[in-house]
Amino acid sequence: MVNYKELGLVNSREMFKKAIDGKYAIAAFNFNNMEQMQAIVQAAVETKSPVILQVSSGARKYANQTLLRYMAQGAVEYAKELGMEKPQIVLHLDHGDTFELCKSCIDMGFSSVMIDGSHHSYEDNIALTKKVVEYAHQFDVTVEGELGVLAGVEDEVSAEHHTYTRPEEVVDFVSRTGVDSLAISIGTSHGANKFTPAQCTRDANGILIPPPLRFDILEEVEKQIPGFPIVLHGSSSVPQDLVAIINKYGGAMKDSIGIPEEQLRKAATSAVCKINIDSDGRIAMTAAIREFFANEPSKFDPRQYLGPARESLKKLYMHKIVSVLGSADKA
């Protein structure tokens, strides 16, 4: 059993309070490997931003939970080495689905966990979330709950349709569970195909324009629980220039579409203080690697293609921090 404080990590409490007061949001970036972790830390240090390192169930299976925890510990030391005196780094479990999983992450040094009971009945979601909160708070670990279901596919989390968060439930859910933050469903979704073409319109160039997020639901939630930290999952924007590079060099990403960055920027100025971005990072790495392979068919050293992929990822993350979430210079 190790407490995250011994590893130099922080929980999300102070971070979220400052983000709401300062009208910005913190990026939660997922990582499965060293290059992603390096890109996240480099971007956070260069922009002087707090950041959330996020571990999904897919990442735990791919990379091993213990290894990921040590990498997060390494991330803190790496940030210091890069010149950040007091790194503000959260290690967060994304979409925890059982009490046992959340407990195991808390026991091995995670500073924050999500318990996603959104696929259960309302009462079962409350019971499960409350149980995790009671355990986590003994160790000052913060807990994110979820009300409403996002459409899309992300690792093992998938749903065909949105179930928007019902604002009339949030006061009851938050007070009975004791959660520290709440993920809500207002039209964001997991994956790189967030909407079907039928749900969108097309502009003059044939680019899909998605339906807008349900800011009316967000506003109603904020009215019910003023100043309470809200989280948005599935908030990649699926940059069309990167998708075009992928498709130019042999890829086949069809009708990919994300959440326009202006809408996320608007959300970041509200009580939304954590925004999850995963697919965009995958797309940035893949575009860089496909381009490299197409142009340098004789090269075979993984560092030669993972290096540019890491660079492209870092550039994307810095852009998100500075121009979309607004968390630069807040660490």
Rounded to whole angstroms, how far apart are CA atoms 265 and 15?
18
In whole angstroms, the minimum distance from the beta carbon of 283 to Zn ion comes to 17
CA 123 to mean position of chain CA atoms: 26
Rounded to whole angstroms, how far apart are CA atoms 7 and 111?
10
Distant-in-sequence, close-in-space partners of 330: CB < 8 Å, separation ≥ 6: 18, 19, 22, 24, 48, 49, 50
In whole angstroms, the minimum distance from the beta carbon of 183 to Zn ion comes to 7
Rounded to whole angstroms, how far apart are CA atoms 309 and 315?
10
With H, G, I as helix, E, B as strand and everything else as coil, classify residue 184: strand
- For 191: left if phi > 0, alpha if psi spans -120 to 50, otherwise beta; the answer is left
The residue among 233 and 274 lying less far from Zn ion, judged by its C-beta, is 233
Tokens of 312: 């492209």
- Choice among 94, 116, 180, 278 that is catalytic: 94
Rounded to whole angstroms, how far apart are CA atoms 194 and 177?
30
In whole angstroms, the minimum distance from the beta carbon of 107 to Zn ion comes to 23
In whole angstroms, the minimum distance from the beta carbon of 146 to Zn ion comes to 8
Residue nearest to Zn ion (CB): 233
With H, G, I as helix, E, B as strand and everything else as coil, classify residue 258: coil
Is the distance from CB of 165 to CB of 202 less than 8 angstroms? no
The residue among 60 and 233 lying less far from Zn ion, judged by its C-beta, is 233
Report the half-sphere exposure of 61 (CA within 13 A, side-chain side).
Answer: 6
The residue among 221 and 331 lying less far from Zn ion, judged by its C-beta, is 221
* DSSP H helices in 119-239: 122-137, 170-177, 215-224
Binding site for Zn ion (CB under 5 A): 233
The residue among 87 and 191 lying less far from Zn ion, judged by its C-beta, is 191
Q: Provide Rg for the chain, Cα atoms.
A: 19
In whole angstroms, the minimum distance from the beta carbon of 264 to Zn ion comes to 15
The residue among 69 and 233 lying less far from Zn ion, judged by its C-beta, is 233
In whole angstroms, the minimum distance from the beta carbon of 171 to Zn ion comes to 23
- For 56: left if phi > 0, alpha if psi spans -120 to 50, otherwise beta; the answer is beta
The residue among 149 and 288 lying less far from Zn ion, judged by its C-beta, is 149
């560092």: which residue's tokens? 303
- Is 94 catalytic? The answer is yes
The residues carrying an active-site annotation are 94
